[in-house]
Structure 1
């Protein structure tokens, strides 16, 4: 239900934010215990998420089961890397990466569905509880695929600690997975909010502005800088809303509201094809997919949907 009925239509129950509310206990203390990890791999309850590049492998069916047994996963193809994700109610979970070509070849099998994680999330192809560990696996396995050589001396490194570190045998440098922080923000001016359109968006969709946090930069400063750079809008107060893991490829979306102190828009055409102010009623219609011009907000799996909805329902803290 809307927190302030005077603000507009009832948007219905709040959907779950994609890739969050993980049930995984990461059990980081087990990662360095090779004997214990081997025992977990031999556990009959162990479940494996299988992926190759951008593709995820599912058992095709009414529920599209994403978990394979250890033996089942091995039968799909040799793993380029395996990562221990953690425990769900004491049951081990692993990520198993195939080469992109091997994953692509599995598309010919009638008992499997091979598709990308974004489609899985948007279309609800698996139970929501699987999305966080799938995001975890995809991000870490992507890191392995892109960081096989030591950035210090160029030597081929090798995975250790159950996939959570790479060691260089030459210069002994240790490398750890990284997450890229990204601010995603809704600039607000009273009963209007600022949304933009990237050329990459599906037709008719408008969303919050976003950009990477730069070295030495606070979240609030990144919000103000990105809004100014992309749309020419100056902002003052910034308020944190929520965060979301975003495994495309390995980001953390940091959702914020920003109080606009200017109105005139000047877009950066290299980043956006458009930016404009939307009224609260328009934004509500976009969330409900009933805007008179066919415009839409991002789907519920994305944090941008939740940011816009929170503002429509009066939860931004200002505006």
Structure 2
């Protein structure tokens, strides 16, 4: 039971080399050499390189309006900048801009793409006075998941945010405490202590996320955390301990959080998740179905607010009642407002029925999250043929 990772938000980055189109070291070396030459050039017209500015983990974006079938469609886009504009912006601050601050993202169609963190410049306005720095989670909820170009831009922004976050958290050597320096176009960091010189590589925190299923009674276990918006339920999840397999982590986390023992475990799919909590913002979610062997719930109140068994019928209703398309359009409008300079307004999460204005009794995370795909796959009988 596997799902294409391209269906998930943040997956399918077109700038990352694949088995069919690998990124050779010589290509990266060439990109670094060419940007070094351009760095010494003061000309404004510098083709072949594009830079994506970030500030406090937020990419710079712009929002556009187009007409489709007599309706207005709002779409956000990454606001790529030239080397010249980035150098010009840094020169107006007290921060020294060097090539070592550029982080290589990849290349496509002869263009090399980079990320650059503007947080330390102290500038409040975006480059050229256009667009805005927008939270990645907000962009995620505003993305039309059926739009291939929008999904590609979201995955690029997620990759860039993950790399910049890693650089921010890896400025000192974990072995000797000496400062580290970005090398190899930002793909590595190295300790500056001549007696250490330890190298560090970007890493993500793996997280198992599982839908626990009671096959005999045709129901699934969903839980709530205190930080969830009202009426939202989701899957269990937890970090993997050292020396532990993915399957062992699923069994341990399920037992610790709800006191249920599971038997068969079936892999579903995985998803990059660069919008995790501030303590561990860049994660890899690894999704499973876990078939229960015991059924009495004992909730660990330190981890969860509540956990319940839900019938397939109730889950199917939750999937149709939450109005994910409406939520996406509202988020896209909110991004447009932010890019136009509007202040923060009401919450982007609204679980009201448009016609009746009734509150949804429950809903699950939107289709941008792997939890949604685990839940909807089971609710739509995508795992019925599996034997527990």
Partner of 2:202: 177
The residue aligned with 1:201 is: 228
Candidates 248, 268, 272, aligned match of 1:221:
248
Q: Which of 378, 381, 387 in structure 2 is aligned with 1:311? A: 378
Tell me whether 192-201 or 16-25 shows the greater mean CA deviation. 16-25
- Cα shift at 1:92: 1.5
For residues 1-319 of structure 1, the aligned pairs below 5 Å read: 16-26=7-17, 27=23, 29-30=25-26, 33=29, 35-39=30-34, 42=38, 44-62=47-65, 63-70=75-82, 71-77=84-90, 81-99=101-119, 102=122, 105-106=124-125, 111-124=130-143, 127-170=150-193, 171-190=196-215, 191-247=218-274, 248=276, 249-289=281-321, 293-316=360-383, 317-318=386-387
Structure 2 residue ranges without an equivalent (≥5): 1-5, 18-22, 39-45, 66-74, 323-350, 352-358
Q: Distance in 1 between matches of 2:172 and 2:315?
A: 46
Q: 1:198-230: per-residue Cα shift (whole Å, max 9, x none)? A: 111111110011001111111011001111111
- CA distance 1:298–1:74, shift in 2 (3 Å): farther
- For residue 127 of structure 1, give the secondary structure of its aligned residue in structure 2: helix
| SS at structure 2 position matched to 1:202 | coil
Instruction: Go from structure 1 to structure 2 and tell me whether the alpha carbon gap of 1:115 and 1:101 turns closer, same or farther (over 3 Å shift).
Output: farther
1:12 — aligned with what?
none
1 CA distance for matches of 2:308 and 2:88?
A: 52
**Structure 1 residues 294 and 140: alpha-carbon distance in aligned structure 2, compared to 1, 3 A threshold:** same
Q: In structure 1, how many angstroms separate the alpha carbons of the residues matched to 2:254 and 2:87?
A: 47
Greater CA deviation, 137-146 or 93-102? 93-102
> TM (normalized to structure 1)?
0.87
Structure 1: 5+ residue runs without aligned partners? Answer: 1-14
Give the TM-score normalised by structure 2: 0.72
Write the distance in 2 (CA, Å) between the matches of 1:132 and 1:50. 15
Bigger Rg, which one:
2
Distance 2:313 2:177 in 1: 55
Q: Please state whether the residue corresponding to 1:72 is helix, strand or coil.
A: helix
Q: 1:118, CA displacement in angstroms?
A: 0.6
Cα distance change on mapping 1:75 and 1:18 into 2, 3 Å: farther
Residues 83 and 109 of structure 1: CA distance in aligned 2, closer, same or farther (over 3 Å): closer
Q: Distance in 1 between matches of 2:387 and 2:120?
A: 47
Structure-1 residue corresponding to 2:339 = none
- Cα RMSD of the aligned pairs, angstroms, is 2.5
Give, in angstroms, the shift of residue 81 of structure 1: 2.9
Distance 1:234 1:222 in 2: 12
Q: 1:32–1:128: structure 2 CA closer, same or farther, 3 Å change rule?
A: closer
